[in-house]
Structure 1
Amino acid sequence: MGSRGRRERLRAETTAEIKNVALALMASGGPDAITLRAIAREMGMTANAIYGYFATRDDLVTALINDVYTALADAVDTAWEATPATDPAVRIEVWANAFRTWAQVNPQGFRLIYGDPVPGYQAPEKGAAPDAARRVCTGLTALAAAAWPHAQHLYQDSAFEWSDFDPGLLDKVRPAFPDLPPAAVALALRIWGHLHGLVSLEVYGHMHTQTTSPEKLFQEELAPLIKTLGVPRRR
């Protein structure tokens, strides 16, 4: 039992190292730098040895994507749940800031899931998104749900229908928010566009060539967004 436990621990440690090396290679050489042979070379392993951990490059990329989405979903969900539901404006702020903070701490992970695709990568099921990615989308819809009682009059003429959205997304969103109309899901995507745009520019280094205060810019974009939604502040 002790020997098996050591083997399992060493395997877990090596698997984690493989993933870290893969992200480091991507950071220095772009998505196409992720190859099992390159990782084996960096780790001083033989190519055959690394295949014992991941049979293909796509298996490794899939594991990385799942890990990254899970870490992001955990970060924003934790921030959201720690804030009182009675203060929707603050909840939206906290979720948005948790997303930005996570992206700053994990730029390689952000680039993997939101940047250029890994060339030639095929997901296990074509068009299928990881469950944690759906969790992030559900979290975004929670932002829209918090704002909807105050903002719905702005979108009462929306032409969106349920058929305009991915079925996999709706499988998560509609049971969680059965009273929301399609326009509210569209609102979630609009909110996402506001937040993601500035964070992406910052992660890729474009913002730092324009301003020394990217955080201030983010906060000053977030405040009027919440004001536009008509969400009241409780404190």
Structure 2
Amino acid sequence: MGSTQGRRERLRAETTAEIKQVALKLMATGGPDAITLRAIAREMGMTANAIYGYFATRDELVTTLINEVYTALADAVDAAWAESSAAGPADRIRTWARAFRVWALANPEGFRLIYGDPVPGYQAPEGGPAPDAAYRVCTGIAALADTAWPHVGHSHAASDFQWSDFDDGLLGKVRPAFPGLPPAGLALALRIWARLHGLVSLEIYGHLRGQTVSPDKLFEEELVQLVRSLGIRT
């Protein structure tokens, strides 16, 4: 009885994993609106009714995917940040940024799911599909600004940013983690994120293919200029 139950659980886990893989594959080839339970069932040779035994709705599947993808990204950048704890600020910032890009290039479908066009008709659960992982990534970005702030904070003395300019949920994570980071520092974090995310997005969506054969070199130069703009000596 035990071995039979174990086999069923293993088969269910394998089928669940395949459903998620097929969903990401369909999105990669047909865009976000290609994710439907019927399309997945057809791709896997299952009946539509059978797939409902794994995910009751399309939105349940999308929520699971977003949560797992976001968590994987958060794990990757958090691990890189922890491993660079003994390094200087410039190296720590570069390490985090490289980990983000490496993860994105290895998981382009996942990147597009969480940062690309929304899935049409998708209704996220209250609080969002992956609030903890999303805030972990945001807190990691704030860590970059906090690391740079002793070097660049003086140039933001005239900033008029207030805490009221930011999302309360984000503040609830960032302020306890970095009590010395002012509102202008959080604004700096978002600008750092825009630089890194923008260049990686162009690469993931193929918009750099007609412009450069060396996206690695372009990204590394961006990191050089980013660190320099933060007043950090290397």
TM-score > 0.5 by shorter chain: yes
Residue 72 (1) aligns with residue 73 (2): yes
The number of equivalent residue pairs is 233
Is the partner of 2:209 in helix, strand or coil? helix
Counterpart of 1:116, as a letter, is D
Give the aligned partner of residue 87 of structure 1. 88
Letter matched to residue 200 of structure 2: V
The corresponding residue for 1:116 is 117
Q: Deviations over 1:120-172 (max 9, x none)?
A: 11110165752101100000000011001111011111111111111111111
Give matches, 1:122-161, under 5 Å: 122-125=123-126, 129-161=130-162
Q: Which runs of 5+ in 1 are unaligned?
A: none
Structure 2 SS opposite 1:208:
coil
Question: What code does the residue aligned with 1:222 have?
Answer: L
Q: Which runs of 4+ in 1 moved over 4 A?
A: 126-129
Q: Report the counterpart of residue 198 of structure 1 in structure 2.
A: 199
Query: How many angstroms apart in 1 are the aligned matches of 2:128 and 2:50?
Result: 31
TM-align CA RMSD = 1.2
TM-score, scaled relative to structure 2: 0.96
User: How far apart, in 2, do the equivalents of 1:57 and 1:225 lie?
Assistant: 41
Partners of 2:214 and 2:172 in 1: CA distance: 39
**What letter corresponds to residue 223 of structure 1 in structure 2?**
V
1:158 to 1:225, Cα distance in 2 relative to 1, 3 A: same
Q: TM-score, normalised by structure 1?
A: 0.96
Which residue pairs with 1:5 in the alignment?
A: 6
Q: Do the aligned residues in 1 keep the contact of 2:70 with 2:130 (CA within 8 Å)? A: no
- The aligned amino acid for 2:60 is D
Q: CA offsets, 1:90-136, max 9 Å, x none?
A: 00001001111111110000000111000011110165752101100
The equivalent of 2:24 in structure 1 is 23
Equivalent residue, structure 2, for 1:39: 40
Distance (whole Å) between structure 1 residues aligned to residue 24 and residue 75 of structure 2: 20
Match of 1:61?
A: 62
CA–CA distance in 2 between the matches of 1:91 and 1:222? 11
Q: Say which SS state the counterpart of residue 55 (structure 2) adopts.
A: coil
Show CA shifts across 1:13-69 (max 9, x none): 111100000000000000000000000000111111111111110100000000110
Alignment deviations for residues 194-227 of structure 1 (CA, whole Å, 9 cap, x no partner): 1011100000001011100011011111101101
Gaps of 5+ in 2: none
User: What residue number does 2:184 align with?
Assistant: 183
What's the counterpart of residue 215 of structure 1?
A: 216
